[in-house]
Amino acid sequence: MNHLVQGIGRFVREDEGVTMVEYGLIAALIAIVCIVAITAVGTNLNDVFNKVKDCLASPIGALCK
């Protein structure tokens, strides 16, 4: 029983595990921000390309303004 208590005490004192969890959370947050930013840019870029496509398809730029 004493060995178990000592093991739990060592586990509580170690902070390497906590540091790894913090790094994991930071990496997850960065990934979420990147996904949101890429999605927003992709949607806006898609709108720009559709406008260019419509301008090229219209007779003498009737839709391009």
Res 63: pLDDT: 60
Whole-number Å distance between alpha carbons of 9 and 13: 6
Q: Residue 37 has what pLDDT? A: 92
pLDDT at 38: 92
- Please tell me the distance from the alpha carbon of residue 27 to that of residue 23, in angstroms, as a whole number: 6
- The pLDDT assigned to 20 comes to 79
Concatenated DSSP letters of 5-41 = HHHHHHHHH--HHHHHHHHHHHHHHHHHHHHHHHHHH
- pLDDT at position 65 is 65
Confidence at residue 61, expressed as pLDDT on a 0 to 100 scale: 57
Please identify every stretch of the chain with a pLDDT value under 70, giving residue numbers as ranges.
11-12, 14-18, 60-63, 65
